[in-house]
Structure 1
């Protein structure tokens, strides 16, 4: 309507004034409702052409969107394991700090696992003490076996020497029996040495490995026990938290609630039409009007433009994707931040806004080689941004009325 009014001032109004005051035609006589089209046909036609051209220029070079939102993330409150709630520490809509306890699951099984692991470590320590005692016993057996071996060896040497000097002094059978006793006693010594080596291996390798495994099991049990206490991962506000002692929480099917991180709004994410993909650039100046800040225009600047459109994404599945399912065009995602710091600090997270972005040809107009016609066109494009700015201010002015009065809220 505003564009049509502006174009009519340049076309229909001069045509009417010419026919009324120059040609002397009178309203209700020569100029009637039935002769308006014929009398003002050139002005009406030119007005419609200019209106369409102006609207196209404004909306192309100065894009606007109602899909501008202060996006915020949420953190799902979930335990790392299934369990029954034993105790809760917070209520809904309560502010919490990082690492503050939220609720605790029943930890009977985890506490039993910790106690079992501790007992296992104590058992291994006791086995280590017994093994050291067995090592001393093995050393005594080795000393005893070596003494018996020396005695058997001396007896064999004596009998063998007597038999060598006088074969008739001692039977050969006794010499052979003495040799057998020496070999037997040597086997006893070897067995005692092997037994000692086994005990040493048990003390140096087996028992330390078992203790390390038991300590790892104790650490795992303590970690599982700590997981029963669910804490806040960040500062924020607890929402949709309705747990009570006795409820069963499942990390896959039943979350405990939502934690909204406490953040100030530092920017907006806006979705502009794909047709403006060649116009929107980082550094463009814009403006937003938000429902949560009535009658307020906040100057913004485009800081980033996403170079992919979400509607075209695809992920591997067991079915082929029909391109016809992607026929709905997506939008160009743009990140906008306030031109001056702190202007959106009081804006609630998730607020909806209307956003404008304005094309500026200031750098191109500074080119000394620019032609007159091109300079006129660029000036005209920049000037049409005023129309869109006026429209945004009228929208901001009428937004509370539309919401509260006409919308029935």
Structure 2
């Protein structure tokens, strides 16, 4: 409507003034509702062409969108394992800080496992103490076996010497018997040394390994006990949190609630522009937004990032081939908008529905001395028509509460 009014001032109005003043035609006689088309055909035709051209120029170089929203990430509050609630420390809507307790599950099973692990460690420590006495006994057995072997060897040497000298007091059978006794004593020494080695291996390898395993089981039980208490991972507000002692919480079926981070989605808006605006949008482009949650206010913004891909082209590998003809919507170019002045949009709640205008700025290009006059005039015209789009946004901002509360019936 604004574009048509402006264009009519340059086309229909001059045509009418020419008919009225230069040709002397008057309303009611020469100019009537039935003859207005024929009399003002040049002005009306030129107005329509100029209006369409102006609208195209405005919406191409100064794109707009009604699909602007500030997305935010919500963190699901859930334990790592199935459990029954024992205590609840916060309520729905409370603001919590990172590390605050949220709720606690029943810990009877992991506490029993921890008690068993403690008992195993105490038992192994007692076995280590007893094994010290076994080590002393094994060393004493070796000393006894070596002493018996030494005594038998002395007796064998003495008997063998007498036998070699031909003494009638010693027979060959006595020498063989003593040799067999020496073999037995040597085997006894080896058995005692093997027993000592077994005791040492038990003290140095087996029992420490068993104790380490028991300590690991204790650490596992302590970790399971710690996991029964759920803490807030970030600062934020608790939402949809309605736990009571006795409730069963299942991380795969029934989460406990939602934690909305305090700074999630603030001062960052995602705007979906049409694909035709691809050549026009650029990082650093100025924009304006108006949100339903903060009516009658317009916030200056700047484009800080443009998404490299269009969401409509996303796919997930499956058995059937994708047919591009099945994509009903062409998809949008996503631009990230941030406030031109810091903290200006803090009062806009994340998730707010907004509208946005982006404005092409050719000020830097106009300083180029190599530009022709025609080019400069065209760039000036592009920048100037942005004022019309800004006026439209302000009109939309004024009419938004009326359209929402009165005309739409909500």
Normalising by the residue count of structure 2, what TM-score does the alignment of the two structures yield? 0.97
Specify the SS of the correspondent of 2:295. Answer: coil
Match of 1:179 in 2: 179
Distance 2:318 2:206 in 1: 50
Specify the SS of the correspondent of 2:237. Answer: strand
| 1:8-407 equivalences in 2 (<5 Å) | 8-263=8-263, 265-407=266-408
Match of 1:408 in 2: 409
Aligned pair in 2 of structure 1 residues 124, 279: CA closer, same or farther (>3 Å)? same
The Cα offsets for residues 154-192 of structure 1, whole Å up to 9 and x where unpaired, read as 111111111111253311111101110001010000010
1:347 to partner: Cα distance: 1.3
The Cα offsets for residues 133-163 of structure 1, whole Å up to 9 and x where unpaired, read as 1111100100111111111111111111111
Distance 2:112 2:48 in 1: 84
Verify: 1:2 aligned to 2:2, yes or no: yes
1:318 to partner: Cα distance: 4.0
- What CA RMSD, in Å, does the superposition of the two structures yield over aligned residues? 1.3
Distance 1:306 1:352 in 2: 20
Specify the SS of the correspondent of 2:169. Answer: coil
1:365 to partner: Cα distance: 0.8
Specify the SS of the correspondent of 2:294. Answer: coil
Specify the SS of the correspondent of 1:271. Answer: strand
Specify the SS of the correspondent of 1:294. Answer: strand
Q: Greater CA deviation, 206-215 or 8-17?
A: 206-215
What is the aligned residue count? 409
Distance 1:244 1:175 in 2: 91
Distance 2:232 2:78 in 1: 10
Q: Greater CA deviation, 54-63 or 323-332?
A: 323-332
Specify the SS of the correspondent of 1:206. Answer: helix
1:20 to partner: Cα distance: 1.1
1:325 to partner: Cα distance: 3.3
Aligned pair in 2 of structure 1 residues 208, 319: CA closer, same or farther (>3 Å)? farther
Distance 2:323 2:231 in 1: 45
Distance 2:396 2:16 in 1: 32
Unaligned runs of 5+ residues in structure 1 are none
Specify the SS of the correspondent of 2:296. Answer: coil
Q: Greater CA deviation, 274-283 or 243-252?
A: 243-252
